[in-house]
Structure formats: C-alpha cells, structure tokens
Structure 1
Amino acid sequence: MPPTTTRDWLADFLPGPPAVVIDVGARSGRGAGAYAGAGYEVIAIEPSTGMRAEPEARHPSPRIRWLADSLPALTTTSRSGVAADVVSLTAVWQHVAPADRPRVFRKLVGLLRSGGLLVLTLRHGPDDGRGGHPVSLAEVETLARSHGLQVVRAVPSPDLQGRPDISWTAVVLRLPDDGTGALPLLRHLILQDAKSATYKLGLLRALCRAADSSAGLAQEDGDEHVRLRLGLVALIWLWLYLPLVKAGLPQTRDNRRGAEGLGFAAVVSRALEAGILSPLDLRTGAVLSEAPAHVLYEALREVADHIIRMPANFLTFPGGT
C-alpha cells in the first residue's frame, strides 16, 4: 500500500483502485511505486531525465507513466487531458515560490475530476538548503476558498526523521462533485462583491454557455488563460436576456421601467416591437438581411459596452483580486 494509506489522516478518503493518481515531484518514485503496487494508475511527474532514470528502474510497473514536466507551468500534464482522482504533492509545496502558488494551485485543481482529492504535505521549519519557502495552512485554506475546494482534513505531525526544528501538516482537499464547495465563492460574488449581482451572474452564465457550446472558438493565451471573442460573449448574453426583454420583466422590484430598465436592452426591445429580430437570429453563422443585421449589430455593441463597463469591471475573487 502507498505510505499515505497507512495513515489515518488519508486512508478513509482515498478512492479504490484503479483510480488515477498524479504524483507531482515523484523524485525517488517510492510513493508512485506504492500506489501502483496497490492497483492505482499513476502518472509520476519529474522534470529531470537524469533524476527519473533511477526511480524508473527501481519501479518498473506498467501502471506508472513517467512524465517530464515541472512546476509552476505543468504544461505537458495540463495539455494531456488527464483527469485525476488524486493529485499528490509530498514535500513539494515549500519549494514553490509564494508568488507562483496561486498559479500552481489553479493548475493542480485543473487536473482533478469532480470529487477528486488534492493532497499536500506542508513542511514547517528552516530551509534545508534546497530553496524552501515558508508555508502555512492558512494560505492553503485561502487558495482553496478561491477555487471552490473544501479542506476536509488537516493533520499536524512531527518530523519522521526526528528533526526537532521541522514539523509537518498533512492537508486533504476535495473538489466537490455537487457544487457545494463553490458556495463560498458564489456567495462572495452574489452578496459581498461590489455592485449588483444581476449582471455578474449574467456574465458567468454567458461564459458557461460558451464553454458548453462554443469551446472551439476559444484560443489559448499562454498556459494560464484562454481568449474568447467579446462578440461571442455578447451574442450569448443577448440570447439569454432576450426572453426577459420580450416579456418586459423589470430588473428589480423597484424598477418600473420594465425591459428598458436593463439599459442595454432598449435597442433590443425596439427591434422586437418592430418584428425584425428573433432568437433564430442569435446564433453563430446566421445570415441576416440589412435591417435585422443593423439592429443586431447595434444590440451587440450595446451589450459589449455594458459588459466591459459593468460585470467584467467589477467581478473579483475573495480578497479583491
């Protein structure tokens, strides 16, 4: 069994084999070999070909796939499309520079399938000469809140080598498969962030629709971001709000102006009244005659301007970033 499964702090959380485990910073291969021996499918991440040769020879299991990759980018792993049940970093987090940790955390979360576990061991104490940085459970908890993960267990322990100035904290985080772990982030967006939540949620809905239906139109922008055309986001936004505009529903109880209260929807409302715009016009690749094309162009311009000025300007993570 893997060394970690013999410890109470993790054993009851681990899924059964042949779940997929990504071991980031596999080094000696001891953990990867133990997981593979227990029936897990393991992807062992190690940047150095020279450092991989010995553990590969020591653990020649067909269940282990060695991958040349490194933090903070994890480019090869991220592009492999693998979804892991467990991502493990044993004695690695202290070697990640504090400035890189938000980026690395996003990368690690992106490797997890719904319900997956992120397992970290945090080393507390002086640097051992290998480029260590201070770590804290509070920092990990803050990163978890920003990414919808739940800290399900944190266990402090002394150093197994008996070093008096070194101690450890083993942390188990879970990416919920029912959405509950994202509630702190959503609560921030809806209740605690500046400005009304209506348009911010509208933008999030539009982006989710784009991910579901138009993912091929996204372009990679480095290893951290993708670019999505504002016109596409505006088109989806308009399609989502069109029923509200058509029904003349007010934005809030105190708003007596109906659809006009949506601001950007005024031009759409006029187009609907004139009968020159329908939901069928609001799709990528639609061919329009001059009059509805002009109306749609004006509506998209209004929506894009509104998105830039309002939700895209005021959306923040907890902490204000």
Structure 2
Amino acid sequence: MTDVLTGYAEASAGLIARFEAISTRDLLAPVADLLPVSPARIADIGAGTGRDAAWFASKGHQVLAVEPVEELRAAGMALHRDKRIAWLDDRLPDLVAARREPAFDLVTACAVWQHLDEDDRAVGICHLAEMTADGGLLILSLRHGAGAPSRRVFPVDVGRTLAGAREIGFDIVRVAEAASLQAGNQAAGVKWTWLALRKVRLPANTNRFPRGPL
C-alpha cells in the first residue's frame, strides 16, 4: 500500500477538490435504504477528505474517519470541523489502531478495496469483520476498471469477495452495480459493485490474522 499512499499524497492538491465535489447522497444511493437512521457509531475506512464522514455526522452519527494520507487527512480536518468526527491515521489491511476501538454499527470502505491484492484482502476482510458489531453492516464498493498509474489497482472478483465474507460470518444483504459519478472515470469505463454485508457471527479462527502490538 505504501506506493499507493504516496501516489495519493503527490496528487492530493488536485484530488481534494474532486473528492469534495462528489455528492455523498448520490454516491451511497445503491445502499441508502440500509444506512442507520438512529444515531450510530460509524467507521469510514479510507475517509479521504472526510466528505462522507461529514455527511454521516450531519445525520447525528458519531464517525471515526480513518485516513492514512496526511495531506488528505489534514484537508479533511480543516474542511469538516464537526465534533462528531474523530480522525485516525491508520490503514488497511492491518487497521491496528482502528481495531482498538469498540465495534461499530456501520463500517464503510468505499473506493479502497481495489488497492489491495488478494493476500491483503484476506487479512483486511477479517479485520473489518472484527470492527463490525454483531448485527452491524459492512459496506464495500468494488472498482472495476483501470486506475491512475501512480495509484495501482488490482482486479476485484465479486464472487470471491462474497465467498470470503460469508466464510467469516457475514450475510449478503445486497449486491448492486453502479456507474461512476466522475466524468473521467465514466469515459474510462469504470464501474462499481456495491456490497452490503450483515455481521452475524465472528468465527474463532478469524484470529489467524492476529492484532499488531498494542
């Protein structure tokens, strides 16, 4: 992930405005009816500039915005000063610091899964399951299509992702296809698959990927 994060840091000046221009309401439309209505604890993994975290906070939720790119995190902290947002420097697949927090009602990892290879995804999905409360929801968006040369992406197999999620205790609530909201991505043929996964159990063997040092 280090090369990917460096790519985001180097492109951050242009990315900040692009990220903020996207409507969270439109982005989350494929899963909007599944989102919590009553105040909930939410973890936004790969929060970027905090656009989505701020939208959740405006609905009364407490949000942990997890973002490893300093430039994006700093911009988010300056742009979105809602006290219901807490910021954390942490990253997939290990999420060492984030996993110290109590489990969340909703965990989102939007537009990040494509940056992990299959080995890191196997670790990451277990750690996301650990962060999701029993009965809670994990939302993933899976990118299909090329990425920027400086921010490497790996092909995502939806079926394999779903099988891995089932194996560690998620029920599949929704699989939805969506077009990209960004004109450049639309022109490049980028599409997305949205997954909504309900945590029903966490098998004992999930700890085959142990925590890092506390």
Report TM bin, short chain.
0.7 to 0.9
Paired letter, 1:92: V
Alpha-carbon separation, structure 2, partners of 1:2 and 1:84: 20
Using the TM superposition, give the Cα deviation of residue 164 of structure 1 relative to its aligned residue in structure 2, in angstroms.
4.3
Q: Quick one: structure 1 residues 147 and 6, their matched pair in 2 at CA, closer, same or farther if it must change by over 3 Å?
A: closer
- Counterpart residue number, 1:36: 57
Moved more, 48-57 or 104-113: 48-57
Is the 8 Å Cα contact of residues 153 and 171 (structure 1) preserved in structure 2?
yes
Larger RCO: Structure 1 or Structure 2 (Cα < 8 Å, ≥ 6 residues apart)?
A: 2
- Counterpart residue number, 2:96: 75
Match of 2:141 among 108, 121, 124: 121
Moved more, 151-160 or 59-68: 151-160
Aligned to 2:125, the other structure's residue is in SS state: helix
Is the 8 Å Cα contact of residues 145 and 188 (structure 2) preserved in structure 1?
no
Using the TM superposition, give the Cα deviation of residue 131 of structure 1 relative to its aligned residue in structure 2, in angstroms.
1.0
Paired letter, 1:97: D
Alpha-carbon separation, structure 2, partners of 1:140 and 1:127: 20
Structure 2 stretches lacking a partner, 5+ long: 1-22
Match of 1:96 among 107, 112, 116: 116
Match of 1:131 among 123, 130, 152: 152
1:58 aligns to 2:79 (yes or no): yes
Q: Quick one: structure 1 residues 5 and 52, their matched pair in 2 at CA, closer, same or farther if it must change by over 3 Å?
A: closer
Map Cα deviations across residues 181-202 of structure 1 (whole Å, 9 max, x no partner): x8xx8xxxxxxxxxxxxxxxxx
Q: Quick one: structure 1 residues 53 and 6, their matched pair in 2 at CA, closer, same or farther if it must change by over 3 Å?
A: closer
Alpha-carbon separation, structure 2, partners of 1:49 and 1:144: 30
Alpha-carbon separation, structure 2, partners of 1:35 and 1:148: 26
Is the 8 Å Cα contact of residues 152 and 173 (structure 1) preserved in structure 2?
yes
Is the 8 Å Cα contact of residues 19 and 85 (structure 1) preserved in structure 2?
yes
Alpha-carbon separation, structure 1, partners of 2:198 and 2:59: 22
Identity %: 35
Map Cα deviations across residues 161-209 of structure 1 (whole Å, 9 max, x no partner): 2224211111111013xx6xx8xx8xxxxxxxxxxxxxxxxxx8xx9xx
1:174 aligns to 2:198 (yes or no): yes
Alpha-carbon separation, structure 2, partners of 1:125 and 1:86: 27
Alpha-carbon separation, structure 2, partners of 1:90 and 1:167: 13
Aligned to 1:12, the other structure's residue is in SS state: helix
Q: How many residues align?
A: 184
Alpha-carbon separation, structure 1, partners of 2:108 and 2:156: 17
Q: Quick one: structure 1 residues 4 and 90, their matched pair in 2 at CA, closer, same or farther if it must change by over 3 Å?
A: farther
Map 1:154-303; keep pairs closer than 5 Å. Answer: 154-161=175-182, 162-176=186-200, 223=211
Alpha-carbon separation, structure 2, partners of 1:109 and 1:171: 14
Map Cα deviations across residues 60-92 of structure 1 (whole Å, 9 max, x no partner): 000000011111110011123x21011101100
Alpha-carbon separation, structure 2, partners of 1:85 and 1:51: 25
- Counterpart residue number, 1:235: none
Structure 1 stretches lacking a partner, 5+ long: 186-203, 208-220, 226-321
Paired letter, 2:111: A
- Counterpart residue number, 1:231: none
- Counterpart residue number, 2:11: none
Using the TM superposition, give the Cα deviation of residue 11 of structure 1 relative to its aligned residue in structure 2, in angstroms.
2.2
Is the 8 Å Cα contact of residues 2 and 35 (structure 1) preserved in structure 2?
no
- Counterpart residue number, 1:48: 69
Is the 8 Å Cα contact of residues 4 and 10 (structure 1) preserved in structure 2?
no
Structure of larger gyration radius: 1
- Counterpart residue number, 1:148: 169
- Counterpart residue number, 1:24: 45
Using the TM superposition, give the Cα deviation of residue 12 of structure 1 relative to its aligned residue in structure 2, in angstroms.
2.2
Paired letter, 2:25: P
- Counterpart residue number, 2:19: none
User: TM-score, normalized by length of structure 1?
Assistant: 0.53
Map Cα deviations across residues 252-310 of structure 1 (whole Å, 9 max, x no partner): xxxxxxxxxxxxxxxxxxxxxxxxxxxxxxxxxxxxxxxxxxxxxxxxxxxxxxxxxxx
Q: Which has the higher strand share?
A: 2
